[in-house]
Structure formats: structure tokens, C-alpha cells
């Protein structure tokens, strides 16, 4: 009965439309790497936005956010939202090389599992429980974006070091822009995950609507403690690399040619 309720057309149809648009957006992003002509920027940005609109309608119609399938659906939604934001703000369409297949796979897996709720309806859980789940999933999506930007940075740096100016060099954003995207995702992601953990502990121990077995405070706390300290070394390494590059450029500019080659 719960599966029948969850797969009402008002829930299923928007998710299927979003799945198709996400698959199309992924194809548009990957096409240039296969030697095809790149799609216009308006198309690569517009298709995910239409998918996001359909997906938001489907998620809003879910009777409950608790469960594996609703969580996967929400995570896919936030990944595509961050992909569109990266394209719009940083012109980093290459983020879709990772977020597109990942979001499409997560949404397809959610549909295969079945969007049946595993808890009380949203009206019985309260706003704090919904906020806890939403903020926690958003924080995970931001950390995923930070890792994706770091992977793109390493790939682009490898191409530059090897002096290979192929599709990766032409289609990936510059290193400085990827570093800014990675830094912004980390700066926003860790506080968001922290807020989700705090909301989970509040719901669990302060008499919230969410039951102890349903709170995500424990899993998110473990994830935060495992990945949180990675932000500080990254920031120190980034500052050190910038100082190294600036010192190298200054020393190169001050270096004089040998007397035998002076004009």
C-alpha cells in the first residue's frame, strides 16, 4: 500500500521527467569529449534547470523524506543544483562530467528501490525534522562538489604538466577557477554538515519529533569527524602553493641573463 501511495503519478511523473532531462544534460556534457561539437551554453544550462524544476515538484509531493530512496532522490537534486550553480557562477560545465552521471544514477536507483516512505508523513514530523534531513543532504552534496572540483583540478594540472593540450585542457576550467570552486564548496559544506549534525542531536536528545532511531546525528557526526579535518590541510597547502608560485614568479622576473647574452 505504501508503495502504491508513493508511486502516485504526481510523484512518479516528475521524477521520470527529471531522470530523462538529467540523462540528456549528461549526454550534452560528455559529447565534446567524444569528439562531437559542444552544445550551446544556454542548452547545457537550461536542460538541467528544467530537470531541477520537475524534480522539485516530485520531491515536494513525497509524503515523507525518511528512507533510502527519498534521500537518494534529494541528493541527486542537490547535485544537479550545484552543477547548475557551478556552470552559472564559475562557467565550470566540466563539473557535469561527474555530477551528471552520479545524479542520474542516484535518481534511477531511487526509482528502482521505490519512493515508498519509511516514516510518518511530513505533517507529523515537524519542520525541524525536515530541516535536519534537508540540511544534512545539502552538506553532503557540497562536500561531493568539493571532491569533484579537486579531481578536475588534478586532471587539468596533469594535462598542463605533461603539455597535452587536448580535450581536457580545452574543456576544463582554469586551475585558479577550480581552486576557487573547491575552496567555496569546502567553506560552505562543512558548516552546513555541522548544522545538520547539530539539528540531528537536537531532535534526538531535546525531545524533538524525530525518533532516536531515525535521527541522522550519529552517521553525519561520524562523517563530519572523518572528513572535517581535511579542510585545514587543504587550505594550508593551497596557501603554500600560492606563495611558492608567487616567489617563483618574482625570482624569475628578477633573474638576469648572462653577460654573454646581454643585448
- Which parts of 206-230 fold into alpha helices (H)? 217-227
Average pLDDT over residues 143-148: 96
> Which residue would you say has higher pLDDT here, 254 or 234?
234
Separation between Cα atoms, residue 211 and residue 247, nearest integer Å: 56
Average pLDDT over residues 150-176: 90
> pLDDT > 70: what percent of the chain?
71
Q: Please count the other Cβ atoms lying within 10 Å of the Cβ belonging to residue 150.
A: 18
User: Which of 112, 103, 96 has its CA nearest to residue 141?
Assistant: 103
pLDDT at residue 1 greater than cutoff 70:
no
pLDDT at residue 7 greater than cutoff 80:
no
Q: Which helix (H) or strand (E) covers residue 98, if one does?
A: helix 96-113
pLDDT at residue 261 greater than cutoff 60:
no
Separation between Cα atoms, residue 39 and residue 10, nearest integer Å: 32
- 24-59 pLDDT per residue, tens: 999 999 999 888 999 999 999 999 999 999 999 999
- In 3-state terms the chain splits into helix, strand, coil percentages (rounded to 5) of 80, 0, 20
> Which residue would you say has higher pLDDT here, 58 or 201?
58
Amino acid at each position: 500500500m505504501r508503495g502504491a501511495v508513493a508511486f502516485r503519478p504526481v510523484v512518479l511523473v516528475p521524477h521520470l521527467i527529471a531522470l530523462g532531462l538529467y540523462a540528456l544534460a549528461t549526454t550534452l556534457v560528455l559529447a565534446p569529449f567524444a569528439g562531437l561539437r559542444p552544445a550551446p551554453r544556454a542548452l547545457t544550462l537550461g536542460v538541467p534547470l528544467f530537470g531541477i524544476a520537475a524534480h522539485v515538484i516530485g520531491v515536494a509531493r513525497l509524503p515523507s523524506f525518511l528512507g533510502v530512496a527519498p534521500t537518494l532522490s534529494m541528493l541527486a537534486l542537490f547535485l544537479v543544483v550545484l552543477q547548475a550553480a557551478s556552470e552559472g557562477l564559475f562557467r565550470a560545465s566540466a563539473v557535469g562530467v561527474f555530477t551528471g552521471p552520479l545524479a542520474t544514477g542516484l535518481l534511477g536507483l531511487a526509482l528502482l528501490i521505490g519512493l515508498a516512505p519509511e516514516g510518518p508523513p511530513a505533517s507529523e514530523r515537524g519542520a525541524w525534522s525536515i530541516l535536519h534531513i534537508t540540511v544534512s543532504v545539502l552538506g553532503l552534496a557540497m562536500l561531493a562538489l568539493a571532491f569533484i572540483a579537486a579531481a578536475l583540478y588534478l586532471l587539468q594540472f596533469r594535462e598542463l604538466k605533461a603539455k597535452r593540450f587536448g580535450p581536457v585542457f580545452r574543456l576544463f576550467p582554469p586551475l585558479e577557477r577550480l581552486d576557487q570552486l573547491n575552496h567555496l564548496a569546502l567553506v560552505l559544506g562543512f558548516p552546513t554538515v555541522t548544522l545538520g549534525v547539530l539539528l540531528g542531536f537536537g531532535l534526538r536528545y531535546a525531545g524533538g519529533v524525530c525518533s532516536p532511531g531515525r535521527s541522522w546525528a550519529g552517521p553525519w557526526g561520524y562523517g563530519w569527524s572523518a572528513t572535517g579535518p581535511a579542510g585545514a590541510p587543504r587550505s594550508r597547502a593551497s596557501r603554500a602553493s600560492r606563495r611558492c608560485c608567487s616567489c617563483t614568479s618574482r625570482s624569475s622576473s628578477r633573474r638576469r641573463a648572462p653577460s654573454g647574452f646581454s643585448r
